[in-house]
Amino acid sequence: MGRVASRNENVDTETKPKVQTLNDLNKVKDNNNRKKFPDPKPPKRCKKDILPDVSKLKHIDDHVMKTPRYAERSIEKLAEYLIKPATNDIEKVRAFYKWVTENISYDTDSYFGRKRNVSNDPTSLLSCKSSVCDGYASIFQLLCDHAGIPVLKISGHSKGYSYKPGYNFSKDTPSNHAWNAVYVCGDWRFIETTWGAGTVGDNKHFKKNFTEFYFLTDPKLFIVDHYPCFDNDDVESAKWQLLKKPLTLETFNKRIKPSRHAREWDIKFTSHKMNVLEMNKTIDIKFHTKSTNLDDVNVKLFDSKGCNKEQYVGIRLQNKTFSVTVTPPSNGEYTLEIYGTVGADSNTLECLITYVIKCQTVDSAISPFPKFDSFYGPVENWKERGFKNVGKIPTSITSKNGEVCVPIKIQDGTKVMATLKNSDDVKLVQYTLLEMDKHLKLRARLPKKGYYRLTVFSQFNSESSYTPAVNILVQNLREPDITSPFPQTYPETLKFKSCLVEPTMRDLPANKEVRFRFSSSVMSEAAIAREHIAKKTSNTWDTTIKTPPFGDVRISGKMNNDETSWVVYSFKVK
């Protein structure tokens, strides 16, 4: 954010000399009469090792939030006030980070050219409390100077607000951002007060949003979107990545940029590490979560004209690994944005990553995915919802004959239902059939070629309504021979553990001989069209009847010691 000069503007203190450029920094190292700057090296410990519980800094944060106006009259008075309760350098640095991020607003008017840049001198910053990144880094540096903490303002390239995947920085590209490095706990560590203070929204206005992520950020996470540049000195610039194996600028340009939220949530993008992807027909982008469960995931896919093509993207979840399948409808360049959220109560989906996809060839037989604003797979609490094996249910199924069958294990007493929707989000009534034998069996009939969403619902706790437990993406590769719905079923269909062999079509021909076969392990008596039929074996019935000229044909049954007969299947005669 904001263009910055490549020079550093520090002030003198009794413990550390003035450092303005990289050459000045080298002079300091050679001056035995002054305190030396430690050499930049990768930190020996990560952030969570030196700060396992950030809540222990609450007393510092509370002190900062009570900063009186008189303390903000000068950098000296401000630094003295902020570090009063601090007992070590981490607490001092925390006080400075907290004050800067809570009190300085990003000057979007200057950044977007709506007005001339304001001055970044200390007096102006303390007065107007608005600046671009150089001002943020400068005032943080001045505060550390007065506390005697080794600090450096670093200029370089950042993948910030205006960055788009595919843009390449070069040695001739002016630095576009500034941040800091501080020396605490025996190591250099990164501080990013600009991004720690908030974000610039789509309306091009600053939105205050304090974040912990940019306080003492680990180098492996920081290099994702920060590349230091010291006066075209590649060797010294590489050192200030604080990595054992520094990245080249070319690699930095090509690598993906997981968002701050993706890094905070420890999301690993495993399949595609580069931000520009070339593909033919289809591509699967995979990522998984380790320590955090994503409650929802969504995508946006835009073509080169900005038209939304998200119906050509499907998201599946299997064993904590998400697969994002992209099947563009035409050749060309697309922008894919993947969003996610943590916490069932959160209504905000945060961008996790952005890819540029260059599609060279397309599948002529491709069809859009069903309209769906989430992922295929089980919900997080599927066990509590009464399921035993949802984790083993495939998130996608391919059919060649227009039907699929999914075995599901449920706990006793679990109530379930299922729906099938086509790619236009139209619910297909009676195109699913739930039956119980040893386990629950879900059958779905696909009346046309294309994609469908098969959803299994259950009642959770004492809910009055059914809510989704698992979504399955189904693809039918051919036009099916049977397009009729299944017969209508009832709660007793599951209660009686009924399984229908034939006919499996709801619509029956009039005045025709039709064979009926079904089984039930608990039904003692059965009837078709109110006519009692005898068992073939201990659990099966098999008979042929002539259908009436119109109306319904029903299969009903009784359980032992039950005088009431219950309908389990209903057919329509046409």
60-69, 130-139, 337-346, 350-359: range with lowest mean pLDDT: 337-346
Pairing, β 432-436 against β 440-445:
antiparallel
Is the model's pLDDT at 244 over the cut of 90?
yes
Instruction: Enter the pTM of the model.
Output: 0.84
With a cut of 80, say whether residue 15 has pLDDT above it: no
Whether a cis peptide bond, with omega within 30° of 0, leads into 503 is: yes
**Average pLDDT in the 233-239 region?**
92
The pLDDT of residue 271 = 97
Instruction: Determine the Cα–Cα distance for residues 274 and 524; give it in Å rounded to an integer.
Output: 64
Domains of the chain: 22-255 (3.10.620), 263-361 (2.60.40.10), 377-476 (2.60.40.10), 488-573 (2.60.40.10)
* pLDDT reading at 382 higher than 90: no
User: pLDDT tens across 551-571, in order?
Assistant: 999 999 998 878 899 999 999
pLDDT in tens, 202-225: 788 888 999 999 999 999 999 999
- Which tens digits make up the pLDDT trace of 338-371? 999 987 667 789 999 999 999 999 988 888 999 9
> Does 31 have pLDDT greater than 60?
no
Query: How far from 263 is each of 218, 260, 284, 361, CA to CA, in Å?
Result: 11, 5, 21, 33
* pLDDT higher than 80, residue 112: no
Query: CA 440 to CA 408: how far, in whole Å?
Result: 5
Between 412 and 283, where is the model more confident? 283
> How many other β-carbons are positioned within 10 Å of the β-carbon of residue 53?
8
pLDDT band at 17 (very low <50, low <70, confident <90, very high): very low
pLDDT, tens only, 290-302: 888 888 899 999 9
pLDDT recorded at residue 393? 85
Mean pLDDT throughout 498-524? 95
Burial class of residue 172 (count of CB atoms within 10 Å of its CB; 0-12, 13-18, 19+): exposed
- Whether 466 has a pLDDT exceeding 60, the answer reads yes
Instruction: Identify the DSSP state of 561.
Output: T
**Rounded mean pLDDT, 328-338:** 96
- Other residues' Cβ atoms within 10 Å of the Cβ of residue 403: 19
Looking at the DSSP bridge assignments, the partners of residue 419 are 455
pLDDT in tens, 532-548: 998 888 899 999 999 99
User: Comparing 46-60, 275-289, 551-565, which segment has the lowest mean pLDDT?
Assistant: 551-565
Side chain identity at 64, as an amino acid letter?
V
pLDDT band of residue 392 (cuts 50, 70, 90) is confident
